[in-house]
Structure 1
Amino acid sequence: MKEKLKSFFKEVEENQLMNGTVLIAKDNTILFKGAFGEAEIQPKRLLNETSIFNLASVSKPITAIGIILLVQSKQISFDDDIGHWFPQLPYKNITIRHLLHHTSGLPDFLDLFKNHWDKRKIAVNQDVLDLLIQYQPERLFESNERMEYSNTGYVMLALIIEKVTGLSFSEYMKKEIFQPLNMHHTEVYTQRLTEEQLENYAYGYIFDVYQYKYVLPDHFPETTFVTYLDGIVGDGAIHSTINDLYLLDRVLRNGEWIHDDLLKEAYTPAKPKNGGPFTYGFGWILEEDADKGRCVLHSGGWPGYATHYRRYLDQDIVMIFLRNKEQDFEFEQLIIKAVENIIFDAPYEIPKKPTFNKAIKLPIDDLKKYVGMYELMEHPNATIEVSMEEDRLMLQLPSTMKLEMHASSKNEFFLRGLSVSAHFSEKELEIYLSIDNGNGIQTAKKI
C-alpha cells in the first residue's frame, strides 16, 4: 500500500493535481505524508507538512468535542434547553443535542448578514444572535422534525461554550483541547478581525474566471463575504495542520481522554422524525460499509479552501486532505476516492484535471431578462430562482444556497468551481433554463 500511495502522489505532484497537504495512516503508522504546491503565490512560498490551513467545516467535530468535554465535566448536558442561555431567542424547545445533530430548525445566518449587515464591519458570533433576535427569520422546522445542515447551530454551540466557561471560544479550545493534546499549530483564527499573522500560514486562493488567474477571495465579488464574516467561529474558523489532526485522531481512539460512552454517543446517528440527507452524530458524518466498517468523517469548504478528515474506526485508518487553491469539486472527490481505493486494495484511476472556464461580462439588460422563477418540468412542484444582485446573476436551485452564474456566452453560464452549467433558450416567447450537473440535464420553464 505504501508504494502505491507513493506512486500515486508522485503523479499528483508531477501533474500538479493538488495544491495542499495530505496524511494517510493505519495502525499508528503513517503510510504517506506530503505537501504539494504553494502556501503563498506572491511572494512565492511553498507548502510544507506543518503549513496551517483554514479547516472550514472540519471545525465542526472539534467544536462538538468542546461541548462533549463540558458534558463530561458535568457542567452541561446534551438535553439542556438553549433558552437557558438565550432567553430572548425567538425559537423554543431547542436543546444542545439538536444543535449538534443539525435538527434544530434554526434559520441560516448568511442571508441575514447579506440583507441586514454593514459590510464594512466584521461580524462576530454575538452579532449572529442579535440579528436572529432582531429580525426573527422564520424557523425552518420544529426541533427534530427533520435534519438540515446548520452553520447557525454550531455558532450557537460556540456561544454556549463562552456562556458556560466565561472564556472566549478561542481561549477555551486552546486551554481544553489544543494545549493538552500538543496541537501546537492549531487555533481559532480570525485573520481579518485580529490582523494577527500566523507563521507558515497557507493562504486560500480562488480562481478569478475573468482575469483567469488565482487571487485572494477578499476582492472578488462572489466571495467578499470572507471579510465581513471573518469573526464568526464554531461552524468554522479553526485552523490546523495534517500533523495536529492526526494527533487528535490518535487521542480519540485510545478512549482515555473522552469517556467511551460519550464517544459512542458522538458516533450514534441522529433520528429525526422524517429522516435526513445523511447520517450525522455529534459533529461527524457517519458511514458504514460491509468491507470498510464504520467511518466518521467531515469535509469543509470556504473560499480557497477544501478540507477532508476521514476516520475508519474499525480499520484504524485516517485520511486527511487540506487544500488551499480552488479546483473543480468533482475532480477533487475523484482524487479522494482514488486514495480510498488504494487503501482498500480496489482498482483506481488518476482523474484528468479539468480546465477552468473563462467568463465574460454581459450587459445588465441581457441578464435581467433571465430573472424570475422557473418551474422544473420533471418536478412541477419544485422551482429554480434566478435573481440579480447588483450586476451579478444568481442561481438558487431547490434546497441549495444561492450561487453566482458566470457567462461564457450570451446564453451559456457556469458555476465557478462546480461541474454545473446552465443554458437559457427561447421558444415561442417562452424562456427555458437547462441545468447540466454532469449526471443529467434538468429543464425548467420561466413562470
Structure 2
Amino acid sequence: MDDKRVILKKFFDEIQSEKLINGTVLIAKDGEILYKGAFGEADLDSKRELKINSIFNLASVSKPITALGIMLLAQANKLSLDDPIEKWLSDIPYKGITVRQLLNHTSGLPDYLELFECHWNKSKIAVNQDLFELLIKYKPERLFKPNERMEYSNTGYVMLALIIEKVSGLSFAEYMKRNIFIPIGMQDTKVFCQRLTEQAMDNYAYGYVFDVYKGKHVLPDEFPETDFVVYLDGIVGDGAIHSTVEDLYLLDRALRDGTLIDETLLKEAYSPSSPRLESPFKYGLGWILENEKRKGRAVWHSGGWPGYATHFKRYIDNDIVIIFLRNKEQDFEFEQSIIKSIENILFDEPYETPKAPELQKAKILHPEILNRYVGEYQLEEHTELITRVTMKDQRLFIELPGSMKLEMYASSENEFFLRSLSVTINFANDGVNYYLTINDGSYSQTAKLI
C-alpha cells in the first residue's frame, strides 16, 4: 500500500499548493490510514487554521448515525423497526407509517423547510417538537402513501430523533453520547446547536457560503438565501451531529468489528429496504448503497448544509474508507471530481487533479425584469411535470419537480445561475411564448410558460 500513500500525498500536495479545498480528509484501507490532512482555515476572520481534529457540522452524514441510534433500540428490544410510528408519536396526523419506512425514506412525509418558511416566527429558533406541532396544526398533505415510492425525507429523520427521545427517556444529544459516541471513543463528536445554545466549541470549523453579490465568503447567517440556518438551528436527527474525520473513522472501525450493532441488523442496514420500488438510488437503513463488480459493495452518505459539504464512504467488501469534510463553499461538481479522483487512486484507475472553477458573481436586476419570468412552466419532454418560478422580496426562485425551492441569480438579463451548482437557467421569448431552459453542463431541458 506504500504506492497508494505516495500517490495520495502527491495528489494532496498539489491540491494544497493550489489552495483548491478548505477542509479535512482521511483515507484508509484494511485498517491502515493511508492519508489524512487539513487544508485551509477554520475561521476566516481570525485566520485560525484547520487541524485534523477540527469539528465540522456533518449535515446529512448525521443520518446513518441517527439510524444507528434507532437500531440500538431495536437490538435492545425496546422497539421494533416495523412498529407504526403512532405507537411512539401518538398525535402524529400521518398514520400507518413504520419506523423502518422513516429509515429508508418511503414514509411519504412532507418536507419541513416550506412548512417553517410559511408558518414560523423567524425570530425564534425551532426545535424538533416545534416541527411536530406544525405537522399536527397544518397537516400538509402526504407526498405519497407509505412504501408507494422512495423520496428522500429530512422530516422522517427528525421524527426518528423524537422516537429515540420517547423510547429512551433521554434527549437525543444525551442518548447519542451515552450509546454511540462514548462507547466508540468519539471524544470530539456531539449533537450541537451553536445558535440555540450560544455555546462555543474548541476546534470548531465555521461554515462559509459564497455571497454572490459581495464576491466573497461569509457566514450563512449574513446571506439572505441561507439565513434559515438561524431559525432551524435546533432541528436535529436529519443533521446537527458534529464530528471529525478521525472520529468518523472510529465509527467505521466499530461497525466493521461488530462491537456496536449485531451482524443481522447490519445486514439489514446494508440491504435495499424496498428493492422493488423504483428510486434514484438504493437506500438501506441510513446508508446509500452501491454495488460495482470491480469495487464491490459500498455504503455511504453525503451531506450539505450552508457552508458545509460532507462525504463518508465505506467500501465494505474492500475495507476502504474515504472521509471528506469541507467548510467553505465551492462548486459542487468540482468537489465530486476530487472524491472521484481519490477513488480512482485507490482502485488503480487513471485520475487527474481537477481545476476549481471561479465562483460566479451576480448582477442586480430591476424587479420588473424579474417579474417577467414568474409563472408555471411545463416541461416539454415530460408534460406532466411543472417547474415553478416565483418572486419574493425582489428575489427570484425556481422549484423543479421533486426538488426544493432554490434562488436564481442573474448573470445577464435573461440568464441565471444557481449558487455553487453548475446549473444555468435561460429565459427566451419567441414573440408568443416564454420558455426556460435548464442546463447542468451535460443535459438540458426546456419548459414552456403556461
TM-score category, normalised to shorter length: over 0.9
C-alpha displacement of 1:378: 2.4
Q: After superposition, what is the alpha-carbon deviation per residue over 1:303-329, rounded to whole angstroms, capped at 9, x for unaligned?
A: 000000000001111000000000000
**Any idea what SS the aligned residue of 1:275 has?**
coil
Shift of 1:441: 2.1
CA contact (8 A) 1:145 1:273 kept: no
Q: What SS does the corresponding residue of 1:270 show, helix, strand or coil?
A: coil
2:448 aligned counterpart, secondary structure: strand
> Which consecutive unaligned segments of at least 5 residues does structure 1 have?
none
Secondary structure of 1:340 counterpart: helix
Identity, in percent, stands at 64
TM-aligned CA deviation for residue 273 of structure 1:
5.2
Q: What secondary structure is seen at the aligned counterpart in 2 of 1:233?
A: coil
Taking the aligned partners of 1:443 and 1:192, their CA distance within structure 2 comes to 41
Q: Who is 1:415 aligned against?
A: 418
- What residue number does 2:198 align with? 195
* CA–CA distance in structure 2, aligned partners of residues 233 and 355 of structure 1: 33
Aligned to 2:91: 88
TM-score normalized by the length of structure 2: 0.98
- From 404, 408, 431, the equivalent of 1:405 is 408
Distance 2:348 2:53 in 1: 29
Contact (CA 8 Å) 1:188, 1:238: kept in 2 or not? yes
Cα distance between partner residues in 2 of 1:199 and 1:246: 20
Show the counterpart of 2:332: 329
Find the aligned partners of 2:37 and 2:12 in 1 and give their Cα distance: 8
1:10 match: 13
What code does the residue aligned with 1:252 have? L
**1:201-216 alignment, distance < 5 Å:** 201-216=204-219
Equivalent AA in structure 2 for residue 32 of structure 1? Y
Letter in 2 for 1:347: P
Matched, 1:315 2:318: yes
AA partner of residue 271 (structure 1): S
Deviation string, structure 1 residues 77-110 (Cα, Å, up to 9, x no partner): 1111111122221111111101001011111111
Conservation of the 8 A alpha-carbon contact between 1:207 and 1:213: yes
Pairing 1:428-447 to 2, within 5 Å after superposition: 428-447=431-450
Deviation by residue 1:401-428 (Cα, 9 ceiling, x = unmatched): 1100001111111000000011111111
Counting matched residue pairs gives: 447
Measure, in 2, the Cα distance between the counterparts of 1:423 and 1:102. 33
Q: Is the 8 A contact 1:407 1:413 kept in 2?
A: yes
In structure 1, what residue type is equivalent to 2:367?
I
Structure 1, residues 93-144: CA drift from partner, whole Å, max 9, x if none? 1111010010111111111000000000000000111000000000011111
CA–CA distance in structure 1, aligned partners of residues 9 and 378 of structure 2: 49
Q: Which residue of 1 aligns with 2:304?
A: 301
SS, match of residue 174 in structure 1: helix
Contact conserved, 1:147 with 1:272, CA < 8 A, in 2? Answer: no
Q: Give the C-alpha shift of residue 16 in structure 1.
A: 1.2
Which residue matches 1:218?
A: 221
Offset of 1:440 from its aligned partner? 2.4
Does structure 1 residue 132 correspond to structure 2 residue 135?
yes
Q: 2:292 aligned with 1:292, yes or no? A: no
- In structure 2, the CA distance between the partners of 1:185 and 1:17, relative to structure 1 (3 Å rule), is same
1:257–1:86 distance in 2 versus 1, CA, 3 Å: closer
The yes-or-no answer on 1:377 pairing with 2:384 is: no
Q: Does 1:185 pair with 2:212?
A: no
Q: Which residue of 2 aligns with 1:241?
A: 244
In structure 1, the residue matched to 2:34 is 31
Is 1:367 aligned to 2:370, yes or no? yes
Match of 1:283 in 2: 286
- Could you tell me how far 1:429 is from its partner in structure 2? 3.4
Residue among 340, 343, 361 paired with 1:358: 361
Q: Counterpart amino acid of 1:378? A: E
TM-score by length of 1: 0.99
Q: Secondary structure at the match of 1:180?
A: helix
Partner of 1:263: 266
Q: 1:43-78 CA deviation, whole Å, 9 max, x = no partner?
A: 110001000000000000000000111111111111
Deviation at 1:379, TM superposition (A): 2.2
- Equivalent residue in structure 2 for 1:395, among 398, 404, 409: 398
SS at structure 2 position matched to 1:235: coil
Does the Cα contact within 8 Å between 1:100 and 1:154 map onto a contact in 2? yes
Report the secondary structure of 2:200's partner residue. coil
CA distance in 2, matches of 1:261, 1:272: 18
Match of 1:343 among 342, 346, 359: 346
Deviation at 1:272, TM superposition (A): 6.1
CA-based RMSD:
0.9
Q: Distance in 1 between matches of 2:444 and 2:321?
A: 36
